[in-house]
Structure 1
Amino acid sequence: MKKNPLFQILLLGLLAGEAAHAGSFVVEDIKVRGLQRISAGTVFNYLPVAVGETFSEEKQGSAIRALFNTGFFKDIILEREGDTLIVNVVERPSVAKIVIEGNKDIKKEDLAEALKKIGLAEGKVYNKQILDKVEQELRRQYFSHGKYGLKIKTEVTELTRNRVGIHIDIAEGKVAKIKQINIVGSRAFTNDALKKDFELSTTNFLSFYSKDDQYSKQKLSADLEKLRSYYLDRGYINFSIESTQVDITADKKEIYITINVKEGDVYTLEKVKLSGELVVEPEELVKLVKVGPGETFSRKNATETSKAISDRLGDEGYTFANVNMVPEINESNKSVVMTFFVDPGKRVYVRRVNFKGNTKTRDEVLRREMRQMESSWAASSKIERSKTRLDRLGYFEEVGVETPPVVGAADQIDVNYSIKEKASGNLQAGIGYSQVQGVIFNANVSQDNIFGTGKRVNFAFNNSSIMTRYNLGYRDPYFTLDGVSMGWDVGYSARKGYQANISRYNTNVANAGFNFGIPLNEFDNLGFDVDLKQTEIADTQFSPQEVVDFIRDYGDSFLTLSTGLGWTHDTMNRAVFATSGGQQRFSALATVPGSDLEYYKIGYKQQHYFPLSSDFTFRILGEVAYGDGYGNTNDLPFFENYFGGGAQSVRGFRDNTLGPRDTPRPLSGQTPRPFGGSSKILGKAELFFPVPFLSDVKSVRIGTFMDAGTVSKGFEISNMRYSAGLSGEWLSPFGAIAVSVAQPFNASDTDNVQNFQFTFGSGF
């Protein structure tokens, strides 16, 4: 019988459907076999089939892939027993321990953290493929430290309970040093001039600290940008870096860097224009332009001009202003027409000024330091100045500021200050030491921010071989709403001159006084004080002739009422360890006519900090002072003389020993001792930098310095003394510590040289 083809096709389709149906079943149960550490619940969580669902051959592949993707298993087989799905697994071993040996340059903790980031850590699942990543990561770590001769050997040991131990043996090799940096194609400038500000360098005497002779891709990128800026700041608009090659010798010890450049021509400025929406008077903006026609084009000056205009607009509330530089280059005459296009954007108001973190300090203490007011235009300089004023209070460890926009308002921002308070109260009792004062017993109870009001109260007691002193003081920095401060203090001190390296006489002084401070503007303050003082002098059998003559002429007990006037201009960013800004102080003091002694003292001191980089700060300081008697007092009383030498003056000379000497009485058998003078000159130049390998740069610093100074009866420059050396300062929890090692340049035979000096337990 002849078969119908259509019938045959239908029959084959029916048989195929039955076969497919035969491979599918409804899962009544799921069992997992082979688990050791991983729970069955974990498997069920990743398995894309559940009890009650139909399982087919199509789902088998997706189920196996899902379980493999977990990384927990190295083998998976799915089987069927009746209507039960059997999941057979073989777990990957876990990492029981990782042993790293041979590492010296990088700590084990740092290496372990790096390996953890790529998935290798104790307790994690071991994957053989990850060992390749381990070697790549270790090489990356060591290459960043300049060690290109690195050799790594990895050994995996199987342990019980399906675990492995990994042993990594590292042979670091020596650090590859930069042997040479060549800039090819530079005709206008020498290689040394171009490389002067590079972070990378060949080996020098500071390389052990700066590591600048170790190659780094990131540092090279930064240096290439510096090179580009060097040319663009000197008119080479078309300057380009054609290529860069970094070659290492076969022994992996030396690196050669070659930079190929194309200088191009020098371009000058033909014209400078301002355009756009000039919301500030054009005359004001013109003053901020730091480039002009006829000058060589400088990207640096153009960028500074753009920033200066933006900052000026920011002070008017245009916080998000953009000032774009649009250069029009004329190739024929090598000139540039520079246009500064001003887009002020919307004027922005400050909705709220908020403070966070002041759990103790009252809100009003913070708000009175604000220069940016609520509901007024946002001024960038005022917001930053407010932050600086908070930082200078001394109540906080850190002060931060953010200016988030107000949601739903395009012209409003909030100013949020976040502060971290520090303990402003201090209860101390301890022992300090000074090379001059010897052992110092001290007790101090002070509160700079009593009850969170910003007022200061302190009581101090100090006792040393030189001086015994008691003092009680109070200060209210905002005695009035306008910022006028008021304070008072009472005290008593007894000093032994001989122990202080000066003439042999003793003094006892009781004093009481009050003071006012009047702010003239943001940076200037006028101070006024009145002080009532009772001074008693006691001579000894070894006192010099000057002391004996003074007591004969004026007596040994004096009641004086003095008034003082002072002016301070302060722009320093911090009160302690400043890094920028400066300070000028002028002071004048005179006893009122009719006092037992009539004299005056005037002085001027100026210092300035120049930030050379994020870590280096240069300071210069100059001070001059003079005093004399008037009325019935012929000269400045000797116990008011100025002294020089020591840690706070010209280092390298013993405290108080610079300047005139006294005249021993006949037959006393004494040698001349420092007597001080009526005038003082002091100068300092110091470069501060952080201690190598130390992260805390706010409480410790070191420096190299040069000091100069003299004390005399008149301004005698010929008696100036000079010294240079190294210094270290640390604001430790136990008190301030200052150390210096200095070498005097022109010490005379009569000078008391003291190369190493330190103090502990006293302020700077």
Structure 2
Amino acid sequence: MIRICRSVLLSSALAGTAAMAISLPTFAQSQQQSFEITDIRIDGLQRISPGVMFSLLPVSIGDEFRPGMAAEVIRSITESQYFEEVEVAREDGVILITVLERPSVSEINISGNRVLQTEDILNNMASAEIVEGGIFTRSTLEAIRQGIQEVYSSRGRYGTTVDIEVTEQPRNRVAIDMTVNEGQESRIRNVNLVGNNEYDSDELLDLMDLGVKPWYLPFSGRDKYSREQLEGDLERITSYYLDSGFARFNIDSTPVSVTPDNENIYITINVNEGQQYQVSRVDLVGDLVNAEALLRAYTLVGPGQTYSQALITASEEYMTQILGNLGYAFANVEGVPEVNDDDQTVEVIFYVEPGARTYVNRISYRGNVSTADDVLRREMRQLESAPASSQQIELSKIRLERLGYFSTVEVQNVEVPGTTDQIDVEFDVEEQNFGSISFSVGSGGGGDWFIATDLQAENFLGTGRTVSVGLNRSYFSSSARFSYVDPYYTPDGVSRGFSLFAQKQDSFQNVASFSTTSYGGSLSFSYPINEIQQIGYTVGYSHTELTSGSGFSVQEIEASPRLLTNVDRYIIEPAILNPWEGPVRDAVTRSVSDLSSEFLNQGTDPGFIDKYGRSFDNFTITTNWIRNTLNRGQLATRGSFQQASAEVTLPGSDLEYYRLSYNTQYYRPIYGNSWVFHVRTNLGFGDGYGDTKELPFFQNYFAGGLAYNGVVRGFEENSLGPRSTPPVQYRTDFTNLARDENGVIRVNEAGVAAGYDGSRGYLTVPVFDQNGQPVLDENGLQQVQLATETFDIYGDRNNFGGNLLTTASFELLFPMPFVQDRGQIRSSFFVDVGSVFSTDCTLRQQRFNSCSDFDVGQLRYSVGVGVTYLSPFGPLTFYLAKPFSRDERDQTKSFDFTIGAGF
């Protein structure tokens, strides 16, 4: 046998690479000659299959083996990194290859790390091809150890050590145990600026995220060193100078010193300010595609201005956008400042390279699992085969975001391979909950029970249509409703919807008691005016029947007291049952008709039912205008929303009234996209016209809690504003004693009457004049009037609402800590203000000071924090609030939540 070549792979911890040594014995060299390979034999394989091994060889059986091929065989095998040693020998026409495989990694264990996640370390090792089941190389592992230490050093942990233990295991495997000792985190003790004359150090240090921790912020992390943060701070300082005209500004060096105990860090920033420069000339060169005037209009830099790199960058972006709108999707605009140090001026030249005009080849969508492509495609303003417009592509993205079906919408332009003038537009969306479905059954206090099911699907079966179905049955309500909206009833965006409802319902929470039975429906159309505005019309019909609550309605609904149908007499003297008090007899009564109306003690201010009856058929028409520039359909962070509506009953309706409403929302980011200022206002006014002199009370506005369009958190639902006047009833008593079949009063052995026969009469009280003297009738007898009493069965349920609504919310939206997906959850600090007023206060309400026209002093305020989460069951909203500026009659609620309605 002739040994041809042997290779041993050596590791170098310093270089991190494998070295190859090839030895060709002199006695073998002298005998080398070409021969035909009759067989190839491989020895030493354990995990590597022969098939993989043969695929690495540059020769095969039947080939001619020429001098020098041994080195080529070894090189091909060693480049696979599978083997520690390779030996090649010849026996006649047989090539003998002996290998020693590198060990494989059986497991990787990491401990002691807190700052760096284990997953991040494993990913870093995987990028260097050290993974469980992979080939083990010590040189690469050493480089990883040094890299981890450098990462910790960049984060201010200079004392970090990484110990690695490699344990050999059977079958040529090794286990890697990595122990990280992170040590103490070094803290910044001083940042020193050297060379700054134009701006003082405090002004520049305020631009930095890193620095000495203020004494008044004990939990601040500003003194935690990070190389990446320092680089960002240096860029901010540089931009600050460049934007202020210092075109030659430079940061010469930033030495970072660490004390021997690795606890304290001292940073020195050496700056060279230079002189302040002015812009002398601005010019555009290149292919301006006949749009020079338009491009110059968006150039923010002009002669005589102080040089500003920020204005140059903004001009580049504007001009690139303009060219993109003209179809040049890959345009490039670069503003190059040419500095003249002699007179401290800068000539700015914008080099315009529009590239080829591009056309959209195809628009595609990814991520819309439930939503049909057609729903997305009809929102497109960029069309296929049309010139690519950056503006139209961005507008298409915004329209998808406003749908509210997707938590994120991303878009990218991809060049079509083999072309220079075509792109594909790819939208990547992530669907979120776009509706809610719920089923509930249970009971409440006092025997109240309920069963309810609701479906609210704003993207029903992915069609983009909205379907809402609800069936409810409870102690106080029975209802069924159905609504349907097709936002693209016509291809050009005209929407159509209709709704049907039937319900029998007692008044809702905290509201003066009454009952309604109603049914009806509506048909609506909405027409787009432009990309952000639409106007809609709704025609509706409703039949409503009113019932006084529990037989005793508040006086604003039905005047009281009212004479009872089965009582027609009033009591002069009560009945005598005990013979010790006089002869046993019936009460002395008279007919109520004998009393003058002034002594009936009836109210003179009629209620709504007294004036208009109990049953109404109303036809309404509603005009609705919407302007929407919000960036998202749910949990927006910028833009505004305005809605104005006017509802009026049509001629032929039993009631004549109108309602005007205006709602608005405004979002403005104040720090990135995480801290956002939000304002929400709700205004409403309604009144009667024609024969109806007031807004029907069941159409009143309400405010308090999370009431629809009347949000003032911290107060009970619907509890603010005018209150009703409790009903008054006549006092009655029994009149006639019980008798036997012969008409004789029944008495017991003691002669006491056995009781009454059920007849009743009204009790009376004497009447006195203003001087306190008895009022006598024509016979000289004391005049009497019917006695009354207030019958307040409602307790706190006396809120009545009003025809004037004014509420507002001021919020600071902030990112919730430890939450990754901030598109699904929102937290805020808020101040709410508002109330409900009435321009039609009744005399009774004025007498009891329970109603007022608009009065700033009657507004209610609250502060608190709130959270909204887009759950799979619909939006969940929670809040904690502290009300103030309240009176003793206000009902407060510090905590509340709602399911299925975001705020």
TM-score normalised to structure 1 length: 0.85
> Is residue 644 from structure 1 mapped to residue 703 from structure 2 by the alignment?
yes
Which residue in 2 is equivalent to 1:471?
Answer: 481
- Give how far 1:184 is off: 3.2
Between the aligned partners of 2:620 and 2:186, the Cα distance in structure 1 is 68
Which of residues 509, 526, 542 is equivalent to 1:533? 542
> Is residue 680 from structure 1 mapped to residue 810 from structure 2 by the alignment?
no
- Give how far 1:343 is off: 5.1
Between the aligned partners of 2:430 and 2:292, the Cα distance in structure 1 is 42
Tell me, yes or no, if the aligned pair for 2:39 and 2:95 is still in contact at 8 Å: yes
Label 1:557 to 1:19 Cα distance change in 2 as closer, same or farther (>3 A). closer
- Give how far 1:575 is off: 0.9
- Give how far 1:525 is off: 0.7
Q: In structure 2, what residue type is equivalent to 1:738?
A: T
Tell me, yes or no, if the aligned pair for 2:658 and 2:688 is still in contact at 8 Å: yes
Between the aligned partners of 1:205 and 1:371, the Cα distance in structure 2 is 54
Which residue in 1 is equivalent to 2:684?
Answer: 625
Between the aligned partners of 1:283 and 1:29, the Cα distance in structure 2 is 78
> Is residue 712 from structure 1 mapped to residue 837 from structure 2 by the alignment?
yes
Q: What SS is found at the alignment partner of 1:110?
A: helix
Which residue in 2 is equivalent to 1:13?
Answer: none
Q: In structure 1, what residue type is equivalent to 2:871?
A: S
Which residue in 2 is equivalent to 1:226?
Answer: 236
- Give how far 1:729 is off: 1.2
Percent sequence identity is 38
Which residue in 1 is equivalent to 2:752?
Answer: none
Label 1:450 to 1:706 Cα distance change in 2 as closer, same or farther (>3 A). closer
Q: What SS is found at the alignment partner of 2:310?
A: helix
- Give how far 1:422 is off: 7.2
- Give how far 1:489 is off: 0.6
Which residue in 1 is equivalent to 2:585?
Answer: none
Q: What SS is found at the alignment partner of 2:608?
A: helix
Tell me, yes or no, if the aligned pair for 1:747 and 1:753 is still in contact at 8 Å: no
- Give how far 1:732 is off: 1.0
Q: In structure 1, what residue type is equivalent to 2:822?
A: V
Which of residues 816, 828, 831 is equivalent to 1:703? 828
Q: Gaps (5+ residues) in structure 1?
A: 1-15
Q: What SS is found at the alignment partner of 1:500?
A: coil
Q: In structure 2, what residue type is equivalent to 1:709?
A: G
Between the aligned partners of 1:428 and 1:123, the Cα distance in structure 2 is 49
Which residue in 1 is equivalent to 2:527?
Answer: 518
Between the aligned partners of 1:762 and 1:434, the Cα distance in structure 2 is 22
Label 1:676 to 1:219 Cα distance change in 2 as closer, same or farther (>3 A). same
Query: Pairwise mapping of residues 114-153 of structure 1 onto structure 2 (< 5 A)?
Result: 114-143=124-153, 146-153=156-163
Query: Is the deviation greater in 618-627 or in 659-668?
Result: 659-668
Between the aligned partners of 2:324 and 2:413, the Cα distance in structure 1 is 13
Tell me, yes or no, if the aligned pair for 1:538 and 1:556 is still in contact at 8 Å: yes
Which residue in 1 is equivalent to 2:761?
Answer: none
Which of residues 513, 518, 522 is equivalent to 1:509? 518
Which of residues 736, 758, 762 is equivalent to 2:897? 758
Tell me, yes or no, if the aligned pair for 1:699 and 1:730 is still in contact at 8 Å: yes
Which residue in 1 is equivalent to 2:625?
Answer: 567
Tell me, yes or no, if the aligned pair for 1:95 and 1:166 is still in contact at 8 Å: yes
Deviation above 6 Å: which 4+ runs of structure 1? 16-19, 53-57, 204-211, 356-363, 420-427, 431-435
Which residue in 2 is equivalent to 1:725?
Answer: 864
Which residue in 1 is equivalent to 2:15?
Answer: none
Tell me, yes or no, if the aligned pair for 2:433 and 2:872 is still in contact at 8 Å: no
- Give how far 1:635 is off: 2.6
Label 1:276 to 1:253 Cα distance change in 2 as closer, same or farther (>3 A). same
Between the aligned partners of 2:373 and 2:47, the Cα distance in structure 1 is 57
Which of residues 608, 633, 637 is equivalent to 1:579? 637
Tell me, yes or no, if the aligned pair for 2:539 and 2:620 is still in contact at 8 Å: yes
Between the aligned partners of 1:705 and 1:434, the Cα distance in structure 2 is 31
Which residue in 2 is equivalent to 1:10?
Answer: none
Tell me, yes or no, if the aligned pair for 1:95 and 1:123 is still in contact at 8 Å: yes
Label 1:236 to 1:472 Cα distance change in 2 as closer, same or farther (>3 A). same
- Give how far 1:294 is off: 4.5
Query: Pairwise mapping of residues 19-418 of structure 1 onto structure 2 (< 5 A)?
Result: 20-22=29-31, 26=35, 29-46=39-56, 63-64=73-74, 66-78=76-88, 85-143=95-153, 146-196=156-206, 198-200=208-210, 202-203=212-213, 213-270=223-280, 284-285=294-295, 287-327=297-337, 329=339, 331=341, 334-338=344-348, 340=350, 342=352, 344-350=354-360, 353=363, 365-394=375-404, 399-405=409-415, 410-417=420-427
When the two chains are superposed, the root-mean-square deviation of aligned CA atoms in Å is 3.9
Tell me, yes or no, if the aligned pair for 2:405 and 2:633 is still in contact at 8 Å: no
Note the alpha carbon deviations across 1:347-375, whole angstroms, 9 max, x for none: 44445555667787666654443323445
Q: Gaps (5+ residues) in structure 2?
A: 1-24, 559-606, 729-789, 839-852
Q: What SS is found at the alignment partner of 1:546?
A: coil
Note the alpha carbon deviations across 1:108-164, whole angstroms, 9 max, x for none: 343333323223333233333344124224324544654433233222333333333
Between the aligned partners of 1:413 and 1:94, the Cα distance in structure 2 is 46
Q: What SS is found at the alignment partner of 1:99?
A: strand
TM-score normalised to structure 2 length: 0.73
Label 1:211 to 1:430 Cα distance change in 2 as closer, same or farther (>3 A). farther
Q: What SS is found at the alignment partner of 1:124?
A: coil
Label 1:86 to 1:248 Cα distance change in 2 as closer, same or farther (>3 A). same
Query: Pairwise mapping of residues 591-630 of structure 1 onto structure 2 (< 5 A)?
Result: 591-611=649-669, 612-630=671-689
Which of residues 815, 819, 825 is equivalent to 1:694? 819
Which of residues 545, 550, 564 is equivalent to 2:608? 550
> How many pairs align?
746
Label 1:33 to 1:610 Cα distance change in 2 as closer, same or farther (>3 A). same
Q: What SS is found at the alignment partner of 2:557?
A: helix
Label 1:719 to 1:154 Cα distance change in 2 as closer, same or farther (>3 A). same
Q: What SS is found at the alignment partner of 1:729?
A: strand
Between the aligned partners of 1:711 and 1:268, the Cα distance in structure 2 is 59
Q: In structure 2, what residue type is equivalent to 1:704?
A: F
- Give how far 1:241 is off: 1.4
Which residue in 1 is equivalent to 2:715?
Answer: 653
Query: Is the deviation greater in 221-230 or in 25-34?
Result: 25-34
Tell me, yes or no, if the aligned pair for 1:238 and 1:264 is still in contact at 8 Å: yes
Which residue in 2 is equivalent to 1:485?
Answer: 495
Between the aligned partners of 2:333 and 2:96, the Cα distance in structure 1 is 70
- Give how far 1:492 is off: 2.5
- Give how far 1:485 is off: 1.6
Between the aligned partners of 1:206 and 1:647, the Cα distance in structure 2 is 38
Query: Is the deviation greater in 714-723 or in 139-148?
Result: 139-148
Between the aligned partners of 1:344 and 1:55, the Cα distance in structure 2 is 58
**Structure of larger gyration radius:** 2
Q: In structure 2, what residue type is equivalent to 1:523?
A: I
Label 1:17 to 1:694 Cα distance change in 2 as closer, same or farther (>3 A). closer
Q: In structure 2, what residue type is equivalent to 1:591?
A: T
- Give how far 1:240 is off: 1.5
Tell me, yes or no, if the aligned pair for 1:118 and 1:133 is still in contact at 8 Å: no
- Give how far 1:759 is off: 1.7
- Give how far 1:735 is off: 2.8
- Give how far 1:574 is off: 1.5
Between the aligned partners of 2:294 and 2:85, the Cα distance in structure 1 is 77
Which residue in 1 is equivalent to 2:841?
Answer: none
Between the aligned partners of 2:443 and 2:200, the Cα distance in structure 1 is 54
Tell me, yes or no, if the aligned pair for 2:436 and 2:873 is still in contact at 8 Å: no
- Give how far 1:739 is off: 1.2
Between the aligned partners of 1:130 and 1:242, the Cα distance in structure 2 is 35
Between the aligned partners of 1:52 and 1:143, the Cα distance in structure 2 is 58
> Is residue 664 from structure 1 mapped to residue 726 from structure 2 by the alignment?
yes
Which of residues 491, 496, 509 is equivalent to 1:500? 509
Label 1:366 to 1:623 Cα distance change in 2 as closer, same or farther (>3 A). same
